[in-house]
Amino acid sequence: MCGLKQSHTYVLEEKMASYNTNEFRSGLKIMLDDNPYNIIENEFVKLGKGQAFNRVKVRNLKTGQVIDKTFKSGEKVRAADIMDTDMQYLYSDGEYWHFMDQATYEQVQADKMAVGDQAQWLKEQAICKVILWNGSPIGIEPPNFVNLTVTETEPGVRGDTAQGGVKPATLETGATVRVPLFIEIGDLLKIDTRTSEYVSRAKDK
Amino acid sequence: MSWRPDASIGMLHMRAAWLKQIRTFFDARNVLEVETPILAPTTVTDPHIDSLKCRFRHRDYYLQTSPEFHMKRLLAAGSGPIYQISRVLRDDGPGRLHNPEFTLLEWYRPGFDQARLMQEIYELLARLCEPESANWDQNIAVISYRDLFGKYTDIDPLEEDMTAFLAWCDSSDHECPIDTTDSWDTALNWALSIVIQPQMKGLCFVKDYPADQAALAKVSTEDPRISRRFELYADGIEIANGFEELTDAKEQRRHFERDNRQRRLYGQEPIAIDEQFLAALEHGIPDTSGVALGLDRLLLWSSDVKSIRRTMTFGWQE
C-alpha cells in the first residue's frame, strides 16, 4: 500500500514538473527564485489587442511574505513539490521539533525557522499539519483549537464574571494569552490558535 | 447540483431593457441592424487574439472573435450605417473581466471621423447608464495615449526605448516580467494593464494609439507614429475600441502578413488571410469609423456587480 502510494506520487511529480499560467489557480504551489510559493489570488488580465498577463498574489511558504507578481500568459513556471501531511507532534529537543506520520511511522524534524511562533501551541501528541517541501518540513499548522492548562496567572477574582476584565495567563506550552479575571492556575482553557484568543474553559484534555 | 443562473432576475431585466434601448437608439438614427456568421472558414490574424477552432464536414472553421470583417463586407456592398449585437468567442481567460463567450455591440458609421463617433458613443452611454447607474458621469475625459502614459509613468510610448522602460520599472514598486527580449508593444501593454488601468477613474476616452497597435486603423496624416484608434475606459475597465477604419487593401494585406510572421515567431499557427475581406476592400468601402463595445462589461460597470459572469444568464462553466 505504502509503496503504491509513493510511486503514484512520483509519477504525479514527473508529470507536473511545471505549470503553464493558464493552469494557475489559488492553492497552486510554484517555485520562484528557488523558493516555494503558494498562489493566493490569480487574475487573468488582457487588453483586447494586447499581450495577456496573469496578475498573482503569492505567499512565500518559508517566510510567509506575500508579494504581487505578473507573468506573461503562456509562460511556464516550475511546480513546487509541496505536501501537506497530518502528523503527530512528539517532542522538542530544544533545537528540533519532532513529528511522526501515524500511517507510516515515518518521523521528520522541523527547525525553528519552520515552526516559528507556532511552537507556543504545540502540545505533545497533538495532530498538526506539517508542510513538507521536497520531503522536509518548512511550516507547521497546529489544530485551530487546542486545550491548554494555565501554569501562571494572578489570583482569580470571584464573582467578577460580568465585569469583562482581562489579565494575562501563561499556559503549559509557554504561550501567553489574555483571559477573564476568574481564571485560575490549573484551569484548562480552549484557545483559538489562529487568533491567539481565549475561547472558553474546557472540560477535558 | 448548482443549476441557478449567474445573473440575478434584476440583471435579466436590465439587460433586456438595454437591448431595447440600443435598438431604439440606432433605429432613430437610421442605422440598420444586421446579423453575420459566427462560424466561418477564416478569422483574425492578430497574434494576441486566439480563435476557437472547430470541425465541420472534415474542414476547420473558426468561431468569430468579432463581426468586423463580415460587417465591412456589408459596407463595401453599400449597406450604409450598420450595427450588430453579436455573440463572439475568444480562446482566453476566463477571469473577473473575461468570459470566453461574450456580447459585442459593434457599429459602423460611414462619413464619421473618430470625434463624431466618440460623441455618438457618449450619447448612447447616457441613454443606457444615466437612468440606473450611480457611476454615470456627465463628463467623459479625453486623453491621448501618450499623455496617459505621461500622467502615470515616465515612459514616452512613441519613443521605443527599452533601456528607459526597464529603468522606470526598477524605480517603480512594480515587479515587472518585461525584459529586453520582449517587444515594445508587450512592454507598453504591461504598463497599461498592470500599472495604469488600476489607477484610472471615471469614464475616459484614450485616443491616438501608437500605429503599431492599430492594425485595422488609419494612420494619422500629421504624425505617422500615431493612429486614429481610440478606446473607452470606465474606472480602468476596457469597454470599447474604435477606429477610423483602414480602407486600403494593400496596406491591410501587409498588416495580415506581418501578423502571421509574428505568429510563426511565437510558435503560433498562422491564419489563412481572409481574401474575401480583402476583395471587399479592393472593391472599396466608404471612409468609415467603427467601434466594438463590450456590452457585458458596460453592464458590470453600471450595476456594480463584481464579476462579468454576474451580467450573463450563465457564465463560463469549467
Distance CA B272, CA B261 (A): 12
Which range has the worst mean pLDDT, A9-18, A48-57, A115-124?
A9-18
pLDDT top residue among B129 and B39? B39
pLDDT > 90? residue A17 = no
What are B63-104's pLDDT values in tens digits? Answer: 999 999 999 999 999 999 999 999 999 999 899 999 999 999
Question: Is B165 within the bounds of a domain?
Answer: no
Predicted local distance difference test score (pLDDT) of residue A160: 54
Residue A9: pLDDT over 50: no
> Does the structure show a pLDDT above 60 at A4?
no
Look at residue A6 in the predicted model and tell me its pLDDT: 40
Is B20 within a domain?
A: yes
Give the whole-angstrom CA distance, residue B301 versus residue B278: 36
- Is residue B19 assigned to a domain? yes
> Across residues A37-66, what is the average pLDDT?
94
On average, the pLDDT of chain B sits at 94
Which of B174, B175, B213 is closest, CB to CB, to A49?
Answer: B213
Q: Using 50, 70 and 90 to split pLDDT, how confident is the model at A5?
A: very low
Output the nine-digit C-alpha cell for B285.
468601402
Predicted confidence at residue B318, as pLDDT, reads 81
CATH at B265: 3.30.930.10
Calculate mean pLDDT across residues A77-106.
94
Domain that holds residue B115: 9-135+244-311
Q: What would the pLDDT profile of B8-27 be if each residue is shown by its tens digit?
A: 999 999 999 999 999 999 99
ipTM (interface predicted TM): 0.91
Q: How confident is the model at residue A11 (pLDDT cuts 50, 70, 90)?
A: very low
What are the chain A neighbours of B242 within 8 Å (beta carbons)?
none
On the question of pLDDT at A80 being above 80, the answer is yes
Q: B107 in a domain, yes or no? A: yes
SS3 of chain B: CCCCCCCCHHHHHHHHHHHHHHHHHHHHCCCEECCCCCEECCCCCCCCCCCCEEEECCEEEEECCCCHHHHHHHHHCCCCCEEEEEEEECCCCCECCECCEEEEEEEEEECCCHHHHHHHHHHHHHHHHCCCCCCCCCCCEEEEHHHHHHHHCCCCCCCCCHHHHHHHHHHCCCCCCCCCCCCHHHHHHHHHHHHHHHHCCCEEEEECCEHHHCCCECECCCCCCEECEEEEEECCEEEEEEEEECCCHHHHHHHHHHHHHHHHHCCCCCCCCCHHHHHHHHHCCCCEEEEEEEHHHHHHHHHCCCCHHHHCCCCCCC
Chain-chain contact of A47 with B92 (C-beta, under 8 angstroms): no
Residues of chain B found within 8 Å of residue A44, distances taken between Cβ atoms: 92-96, 98
Nearest to A53 among B46, B194, B292 (CB): B194
In a domain, B262, yes or no: yes
The confidence score (pLDDT) of residue A157 equals 63
- Given a cut of 90, whether residue A205 has pLDDT beyond it is no
Q: How many domains does chain B have?
A: 1
Residue B33 pLDDT > 60 = yes
Distance in Å, alpha carbon of B171 to nearest chain A alpha carbon: 16
Q: How confident is the model at residue A15 (pLDDT cuts 50, 70, 90)?
A: low
Q: Out of B95, B177, B214, name the one closest to residue A44 (CB).
A: B95
B265 in reach of chain A (CB within 8 A):
no
Instruction: Report yes or no: B218 and B229 within 8 Å, Cβ to Cβ.
Output: no
Residues B100-127 have a mean pLDDT of 96
> Is pLDDT at A158 greater than 80 in this prediction?
no
Q: Do B190 and A46 touch (CB under 8 A)?
A: no
Amino acid, res. A44: F
Residues of B in contact with A56 (CB under 8 A): none
Q: Is residue B89 part of a domain?
A: yes
**What pLDDT sits at residue A2?**
38
Mutate to test the interface with B, among A49, A53, A54, A65 (most CBs of B within 10 A): A49
The pLDDT assigned to B144 comes to 97
What's this model's pTM, rounded to 2 decimal places? 0.84
Residue B177 near chain A (CB below 8 Å): yes
Mean pLDDT of B279-301: 97
When the pLDDT of each residue in chain A is averaged and rounded to a whole number, the result is 87
Residue B317 lies in a domain: no
Average pLDDT on B200-226 reads 92
Query: Given this model, what pLDDT does residue A144 score?
Result: 93
When scoring A20, A33, A47 by the number of chain B Cβ atoms within 10 A, the one with the most, hence best to mutate, is: A47
Q: Which residues of B touch A67 (CB under 8 A)?
A: 175
Residue B48 and residue A72: Cβ atoms within 8 Å? no
pLDDT tens profile A183-197: 999 999 999 999 999
Q: What is the pLDDT of residue B48?
A: 93
Q: Of all residues in chain A, what percent carry a pLDDT higher than 70?
A: 87
Q: Is B304 a residue whose pLDDT tops 90?
A: no
pLDDT one-digit tens code per residue, B92-102: 989 999 999 99
A155 DSSP 8-state letter: P
Q: What is the pLDDT of residue B156?
A: 96
Confidence of residue A1 (pLDDT cuts 50, 70, 90): very low
- Please give the pLDDT value at position A3: 37
pLDDT band at B132, cuts 50/70/90? low
